[in-house]
Each structure stands twice: as C-alpha cells, then as structure tokens.
Amino acid sequence: MPMHKQATKRIGIMSAEIQYAGHWKIPDTEEVFEGTLHYNEETRVLVLLLIQPSDAQTFDSHILASFRVPVICGKLFSGSHVALLGCLRTNTHTHVGSHTTETVYVDYALWGLEEPYCESPLFRGCTIDYGAVLEWAGLCYYDLDTKKGQLGEIIRWSHENEIKLDVTGGLHLRFSPEQGSMSFVDYHNDVTFHQRIEARLFYDEPRRWQEIMHDADWLRRLIELGKGREVGIRGVRYLHPSHLLPEEYGAEGQDRYEPADVLLGTEQRDVADENSRRWTFLFNLSEAYERGALRAWFEKRDELEPVVDLYTLAYTDRVPSAMALFLNLMQALETYHARFVCDSVKTYKKRVDCLVENTSGADSDVRDFLCDSGQQGSKSLYLKSRISDLLYAGGRRPVSPKHMSFVDFPQKLVDTRNYYTHFSPDKKDKAFGKEELPIVNAELMALLEYHLMLTLGFDGETTLTNVQRRLRNR
C-alpha cells in the first residue's frame, strides 16, 4: 500500500478520484503485475499505475515493449474483473532499491469482463446516454397533471414508444425513453426526478469495441447537426455474450444481452448544456427517422465523414479563432461540392447549362455567377465556382449575406481564404476583416447545413425554413 500512495502523489491524484487495486495481465503473456487503476470522475481520466519490486522483471521487457497495448486484463482484490482497452504507456519511473512504476493511460474500463473473454474481446453492441438530448429526442418529459377539486398536483411522466430501425452493415439502432428510480415516499426538501434517452447499438455479428464506439460517435455528430449544440457522452454500457439473461426471464433477441458498465477515459466529455431549444433544431429524432436521415447518415458515411469532421469543430470550445473556423468551413464546403455535386469542369459546365435552362429571366446573369469568364477557359474547377454553385442552390439561395451583395459574396470568400492561407499583404483589402468573420462563419455554417440536410433526404422547403430560422437565432 505505501508504494500505491507514492505513485498516487506523483501523478497528482485529486480528491474526486476512485482507486481500484488488483493484479493486471497482458494477454498472451505469463507475467502478472500488481497495480492500481485511478479514475477521476470530474475530468474522466483513467490511469493505471503498475508496480513491480526492483528485483522483478522490468517493464522494458518484451511484455510491455510497445507504447500502445490493446488490452490489459485485471482482477481486483475485491474479486471483480475488468478489461482495460486502448492503453497507452507514457512513463516508467524507477525508485532505486525499492520498486518501478509504469504509467498507462486507458481509454475504456469494462467491468465484469473475465479473462477468457478479455484476451480477444468482441462485442454485440452498446447502450449510450448522450446526456442533454431530451428535448431533441422528444420521447419523454415530466409535467404537472392538475385535477380540479383537489389541492394537490400529480407529477406525471409522459413518454412515447421507442424508435428502432435497421441501418447499413448489420447495425440496429434503438432509442428508448428511460425513467430513473425514486422512492414511493420522500421527505427530502428537494426531490429530483430522473429521465434519459438510451440509444442502443446492436450488431448482427460481433465487433471490436473501437468500431462500436466509432459508430456511437458518428451518431453523436448527427445529433449535433440536428440540435445545433455540442453533444457529449454521459454514460456507456457494453453488450457481450457472457452477459446473457436466462431464458426464463422471457427476454428475446438483443434484449437478452444485459448491459455492463464502462468507465470512459482519455478525457471524453459529457456536455450538460440543455440550452438549445426547438427554434435552433434543424430536425429532431422523429423527423430524422421519418425522413430516412438516420439510415442515410450511416449509408453515406464514407462520403460525409471528412465534411462533418470539419463542420462539427464549430460546436466545441476548442476552436482557436474565428479565422480557423472560417478556413475549416471553406474547406468543408469545397469538400462537400467535390464529393456530392461534381468534381470536373466538364460535368460542372453541363450542370450550369441545366440550371440556366431551368431559370426564367436573366439567364446570362445566372451563367456569369456560376461560371465566370475565368472558369469558362479553365481546365480545373475553381473554388469560387464551387461556392457560387452551393450559394445559388438551384435558385433557392439559402443564405443572403447581410454585409454585401449576393453576387460579390463568393469572390470575397475566396479572397479571404487566400489571404489567410497565403498571407499576402496585397490581398488584405479584398478580404473580410477579423471582426466580420463571426457573421460570415454563421452564414457559411447555414449554407453547409442546408446542403447536408438535402443529402440526408429532407425536402428543400422545410430545410430552407429551418436553416434560416437557426441562422437568425445564432
């Protein structure tokens, strides 16, 4: 125990941390290490401190020669089993004549997974609590049921049926309203009622945990798009064949898999903000389900992922500046156009011809806006043409810039991008100033959101209305 205390002091363990001591083993080896798993509930940091006497085999042997260790199997002194996934060695410290400690950061700690299954773990899925998504999901809420002639008020929990669907690759999604437990009689001054939305990902075939969490994160980003706020992960549980409910319980199919707890490491965030309201939603859960957007989100993932990676940075507090966000959004729009509209001059010119044919009135103005003289004589597709095409949007024009004319907007966007990437002083006068970028960024986000919604299957009129409403409330 004294060795544990010394190690704890060295990495600055805080009062919010919980410690789990036991024996730890790396699969396909015979060596067993003593050590303690530290978990900080506030910062969500999981650290395993392995300890060896000075005369034992060193950590620099072949057993821990790699900086990354996929899995470490643990058995706590309490008798509980735990599997540590995504382990990263960061530091070895030798106390001369005493002991050596190895610091290992851990992505996930899965409780109850015993060693035979821990060595090459495959799972059938997981359940996720995304936290502050109750209003977006719209599946449950508490209200007061006031009855005439009575002095009291009844607090009622209202809920809808769960939403479930099959998506690509043998993945089954399910969203369920869940009510927390409470006492029948409560004499506390303050009484709290609990509710949450549980998302369940279940697979036809077993998957690696990292694949499952990749899918869970992809679903999280769809919620961010719809909600208009950053979404975190409040809790995760895993589904494994070793945790099956007995048949006499009456559960069938995926419901036979009893979820087991997971601790989240590597500072994975829970976002408690429930600030977003319906007027900032582009769509809610039921609309995404009815329009087929949930299925399309996964089916088109390979094409969408680079665009969404650039876009969702806007919802985090990790954006270094408005300039960085502007460059991200411009890159996202260029990538979207190349992947979902066209990526060759020949195809683009045919597209412009079709758009002009379907436009009444000033045909030449539309053609010049979409394909100026420089583009007409070029063998490559200009960024300005891509941005112009997305802004025109078949005549719907989802974004109308407040600070300049619609016609001049694409060129100034390109000039601004070129100024900030190449930083030529002679381009400064043509670019948006830093004080203008927050407004420009909001308009670019709205433009990208409009096209993403169309790609997911939403109709143009509804999309236009919802995107412009969010833009006004940003």
Distance CA 122, CA 107 (A): 16
Contacts of 463 (CB under 8 A, 6+ apart): 282, 398, 450, 453, 454
- 302 CA to centre of own chain: 16
Is the pLDDT confidence value at 417 over 80?
Answer: yes
AA letter at 16: A
Beta pairing, strands 123-129 & 140-146: unpaired
- DSSP state string for 372-423: -HHHHT-SS--HHHHHHHHHHGGGT-----SSS-TTTHHHHHHHHHHHHHH-
Say what the pLDDT of residue 352 is.
95
The distance between the two most distant Cα atoms of the chain, rounded to a whole number of Å, is 89
pLDDT interval class at 1 (50, 70, 90)? very low
Cα torsion 128, 131, 132, 135: sign: positive
Cβ atoms of 445 and 319 closer than 8 Å: no
Higher pLDDT, 8 or 297: 297
What's the predicted TM-score (pTM) here?
0.89
Region(s) of the chain under CATH 2.30.110: 2-118
Distance CA 99, CA 217 (A): 40
CATH of 2-118, one of 3.40.50, 2.20.28, 2.30.110, 3.40.630: 2.30.110
Distance CA 26, CA 144 (A): 54
AA letter at 428: K
pLDDT per position as a tens digit, 63-79:
555 678 889 999 999 99
Contacts of 30 (CB under 8 A, 6+ apart): none
> Average pLDDT of the chain?
87
